Amino acid sequence: MKEKEFKLKVAKATKWSTITEIFAKLVMPITNMILARMLVPEAFGVVATITMIISFVEMFTDAGFQKYLVQHEFKDEDEKYKSANVAFWTNFSISIFLFGTLAFFSESISVLVGSPGLGNLITIACVQLPITAFSSIQMALYKREFDFETLFFVRMVSILIPFVITIPLALFGLSYWALIIGTIFTYLSNAIILTIKSKWKPELYFDFSVLKKMLSFSIWSFIEAISIWFTVWIDAFIIGFYLNQHFLGLFKTSTTMVNSIMGLITASMIPVFFATLSRLQNDNSSFKQMFYKFQRTASIFIFPFGIGIFLYSDLVTTVLLGNQWDEASELIGIWALTSAVKIVFCNFSSEVYRAKGRPKLSFLAQFLYLIVLVPTIIVSAKLGFLTLIYARSLIQFYFVLIHFMLMKFAIGFPIVKTLNNLIPTSFSVIIMGIFGVLLQRLNDGVIWSIITIILCVCLYFVVLCFFPIIREDFHELKNRMKSKNHI
């Protein structure tokens, strides 16, 4: 693929991925805003427990094959589709087996995760496992071909489901059942649409030599996925065990809401970022240049989101969740601040390891993180929810340090150069934060808060534009938006 054609393809993929995630990340908070006012935190705690179980099992059904299909260089279409068939039948077989296992031991599992009596709920929720097998492979193939336009259509259908299923069921008093049923229908719509529109369709083909080749690549991606699952969900397990569903609901709903807001930027970039770096893995100079560009672009928006939510956490909590979630305000603020730093320095680094075909590094990062994270959460949970909030949030800086070391010594990205790449956004957001604190001391009304937020945003972008490299980024983005070739 010629360089110009490749850049156009990346630009178009980025555009559609961005549009998709903007719609999704705007609709998701709106849905949660409505549901948070209809359901109590305990209901979200129950759903968090179910999601924890499902997400763990889903790793086994995928086995890392999605990343293989995106990253691997196939010699022709026939080899690619044969690998897709092997991946599909492997995923589907594993999902059926795991569904039966979870259904059989559902009551025992519900006791293990601190939610006794929810065995039937676990069984019904697990219906989504075999359904997922029909969409995961097609989704990987679309990402490989940078066809995010089709994925946009699929995502638009799925994000409308809460409005036609979840919210009406919640109105009828179905509580957490409304959330579970809505999730199942979301997965079902994805599977149906992707299967219909995909060029590739499952065929009765299987080759153990192909499976062996895929597993040799995917085994570390799979192990990495397990470590990531523990990083994401270990706090939910410990909170459910040491505290209760109320605090679990507060924690997961609050952090998920913040992650959704941050995801407005990252979710649109990460799929394209990984696919782009995978194609550039053998061109080290272009690879590094692309990494720094994506990271800097993400920081332009993520850093102000983080410090903004931190400064106005009370207002954000009231607007997004309602008055019954006041306890979550402090958590939302500190989690947003630390997550902004973690996302920019860690999430993009993880994609570098995968694109280079070195998922072992991501696993190593997760492992080094977990050996400190787990005891920290256990000790802090015993000391109370407030202590847990700060301990869980601040320990994300330790994760940043781990990735700094791995990127420098294993990949060859100097720490100083990475930090210098983000000087424009870091300096601008610090100025914005100081300005915001000073303005808050003048008044504390809602109207004044909204005015100060607007003033802070304006100041941030004014300061940002003093840096030539940022002006170049904005100029390039403006040209791409105007270009008809990218539509």
Sequence ranges of the domains in the chain: 3-421
- pLDDT value of position 266: 77
Show Cβ contacts of residue 483 under 8 Å, excluding neighbours closer than 6 positions.
11
**pLDDT (tens digit per residue) in 410-439:** 988 989 999 999 999 999 999 999 999 999
| Rounded mean pLDDT, 403-415 | 92
- pLDDT value of position 5: 61
- pLDDT value of position 41: 72
Q: Is the pLDDT of residue 485 over 50?
A: no
In this structure, of 90-99, 105-114, 179-188, the range with the lowest mean pLDDT score is: 105-114
Residue 21's pLDDT band (boundaries 50, 70, 90)? low
Question: Bigger pLDDT: 116 or 321?
Answer: 321
- pLDDT value of position 433: 95
- pLDDT value of position 27: 62
- pLDDT value of position 393: 94
Q: Is the pLDDT of residue 162 over 90?
A: no
Question: Bigger pLDDT: 440 or 137?
Answer: 440
How much of the chain exceeds pLDDT 90, in percent?
A: 25
**pLDDT (tens digit per residue) in 187-244:** 888 888 888 877 788 888 888 888 888 777 777 777 777 887 888 888 888 888 888 7
| Rounded mean pLDDT, 323-342 | 91
Mean pLDDT of the chain: 82
**pLDDT (tens digit per residue) in 334-359:** 999 999 999 999 988 888 887 887 87
In this structure, of 148-162, 319-333, 446-460, the range with the lowest mean pLDDT score is: 148-162
**pLDDT (tens digit per residue) in 303-318:** 999 999 999 999 989 8
- pLDDT value of position 312: 94
- pLDDT value of position 14: 59
Question: Bigger pLDDT: 56 or 479?
Answer: 56
Q: Is the pLDDT of residue 388 over 60?
A: yes
Q: Is the pLDDT of residue 172 over 80?
A: yes
Q: Is the pLDDT of residue 475 over 80?
A: no
Question: Bigger pLDDT: 125 or 462?
Answer: 462
Residue 484's pLDDT band (boundaries 50, 70, 90)? very low
